[in-house]
């Protein structure tokens, strides 16, 4: 159905991961890591709001097509009597979209669109592409990241319910969901370079002592800390500054995290910003006890050379729980105080690059 251009393997740091605070469970999670294939498809089509990719012989290109639900083996588009008609033809194009389920999530967009852009921009044909096919771009961080990647908006074709594009030469990557799959080291560096620029990505210019920041869940209703006011009161006693990431641009968030030596945050998309922290920074994640992707940020922290810590929260009123990925959480502030004392005990020894 297409030709394989190259494969990008998962790369893991060479140092002992336990030195960065990972548990045996976190290390086992790395077994999910898979390489990413980049390939070209002749006469392929891209259609619908979901970004279904169809080969020139009318077969689903499952490797590159995002799935609505990871366990689906067949796509709903093929349940009809016939495929929709082609509405547009493009000579050369690349697909950089992720699943529409995750497209409005900051962390998924940050990593999953960036890995596609990083790999596809290395192709010789990249400057000559006529179009880049992406998710619906209706949030500021989505547009900002495309601008940082130097993608002209007049070249962007957005997915839509009636979209059915035929492409003479389509470039795509195998689909990976980096809220479930571990993030490769090369991808972490690509994100840093994209947002901070190569000259500042290693943080060598920031030699002064960094801040202690607490990342609020803000207005988010998913995995909200029901006693966040008590949590904020507790972290404030230890000199933590409260930040609300949704109030800042991607570049501003990157600078805030780059300047932090200690980060405390509940599991959520904003924790993706630890990718911008300097080597040696400390990260304390307030985790939901049974999330399947619980190891995501621990592995990311290790890939970036950060010391990782965690505290498990309790589910608030579990009898009302509708979804395991969206529980309301409650944190024991006494345990938080003990953890902060331990976390900050080496503050005088922490060295920045």
**pLDDT at res. 72:** 47
pLDDT confidence of 35, banded at 50, 70, 90? Answer: very high
What mean pLDDT value characterizes the chain? 85
**CA 261 from centre of chain:** 21
Is the model's pLDDT at 20 over the cut of 80?
A: no
Could you count the other beta carbons within 10 Å of the beta carbon of residue 57? Answer: 7
Lowest-confidence pick of 4-8, 10-14, 152-156, 267-271 = 10-14
Confidence of residue 217 (pLDDT cuts 50, 70, 90): confident
Q: What span, in angstroms and rounded, lies between the C-alpha atoms of 337 and 330?
A: 15
305: pLDDT strictly greater than 60 = yes
Least reliable range by pLDDT among 71-75, 162-166, 178-182: 71-75
Least confident of 131-135, 190-194, 307-311, 344-348: 344-348
In this structure, what are the phi and psi dihedrals at residue 342, rounded to the nearest 5 degrees? -70, -40
Q: What is the pLDDT at residue 294?
A: 64
pLDDT value of position 353: 29
Taking the C-alpha atoms of residue 171 and residue 323, their distance in angstroms, rounded to an integer, is 36
Tens digit of each residue's pLDDT (9 = 90 or more) over 228-275:
999 999 999 999 999 999 999 999 999 999 999 999 999 888 999 999
pLDDT of res. 15: 65
DSSP state of 218: T
**73 vs 105 pLDDT, higher one:** 105
Which pLDDT score, from 0 to 100, does residue 177 have? 82
Question: Which has the minimum average pLDDT: 20-24, 135-139, 210-214?
Answer: 20-24
CA angle 91, 94, 100 (to 5 degrees): 125
Contacts 24+ apart (CB under 8 A), 21-28: 21/298, 21/301, 21/302, 21/307, 21/308, 21/309, 22/295, 22/298, 22/299, 22/302, 22/308, 23/298, 25/295, 26/295, 26/298, 26/299, 26/302
Report helix angle 185-196 to 250-258, nearest 10: 110
Instruction: Kindly state the average pLDDT of the residues 153-180.
Output: 92
pTM for the whole structure: 0.88
- pLDDT value at position 258? 95
In tens, the pLDDT along 180-216 reads 788 999 999 999 999 998 656 554 444 456 799 999 9
Residue 351 has pLDDT above 60, yes or no: no
pLDDT tens across 316-343, in order? 765 565 555 567 888 999 999 999 999 8
Judged against a pLDDT cut of 60, whether residue 70 lies above it is answered with no
pLDDT at position 120 is: 97
Give the pLDDT confidence score for residue 238 in this predicted structure: 93
Mean local confidence (pLDDT), 158-179: 92
């Amino acid at each position: 159905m297409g030709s394989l251009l190259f494969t990008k393997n998962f790369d893991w740091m060479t140092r002992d991961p336990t030195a960065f605070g990972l548990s045996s469970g976190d290390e086992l999670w790395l077994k999910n890591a898979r390489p990413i294939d980049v390939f070209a498809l002749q006469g392929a089509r891209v259609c619908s709001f979901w970004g279904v990719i169809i080969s020139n012989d009318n077969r689903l290109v499952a490797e590159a097509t995002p799935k609505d639900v990871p366990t689906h083996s067949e796509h709903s588009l093929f349940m009809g009597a016939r495929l929709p008609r082609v509405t547009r033809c493009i000579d050369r194009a690349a697909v950089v979209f992720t699943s529409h389920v995750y497209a409005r999530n900051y962390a998924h967009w940050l990593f999953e669109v960036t890995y596609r852009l990083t790999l596809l921009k290395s192709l010789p044909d990249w400057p000559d592409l006529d179009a880049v096919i992406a998710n619906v771009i209706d949030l500021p961080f989505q547009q900002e990241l495309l601008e940082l990647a130097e993608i002209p908006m007049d070249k962007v074709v957005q997915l839509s319910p009636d979209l059915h594009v035929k492409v003479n030469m389509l470039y795509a990557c195998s689909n990976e969901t980096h809220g479930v799959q571990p993030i490769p080291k090369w991808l972490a560096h690509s994100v840093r370079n994209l947002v901070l620029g190569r000259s500042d990505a290693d943080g060598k210019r920031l030699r002064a002592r960094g801040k202690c920041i607490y990342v609020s869940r803000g207005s988010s209703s998913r995995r909200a800390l029901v006693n966040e006011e008590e949590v904020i009161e507790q972290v404030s006693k230890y000199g933590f500054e409260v930040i609300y990431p949704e109030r800042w641009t991607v570049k501003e968030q990157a600078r805030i995290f780059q300047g932090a030596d200690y980060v405390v945050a509940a599991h959520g998309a904003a924790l993706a910003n630890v990718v911008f922290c300097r080597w040696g920074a400390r990260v304390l994640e307030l985790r939901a006890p049974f999330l399947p992707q619980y190891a995501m940020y621990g592995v990311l922290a290790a890939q970036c050379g950060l010391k990782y810590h965690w505290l498990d929260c309790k589910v608030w009123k579990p009898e009302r729980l509708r979804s395991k990925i969206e529980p309301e959480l409650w944190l024991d502030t006494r345990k938080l105080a003990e953890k902060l004392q331990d976390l900050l005990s080496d503050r005088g020894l922490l060295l920045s690059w």
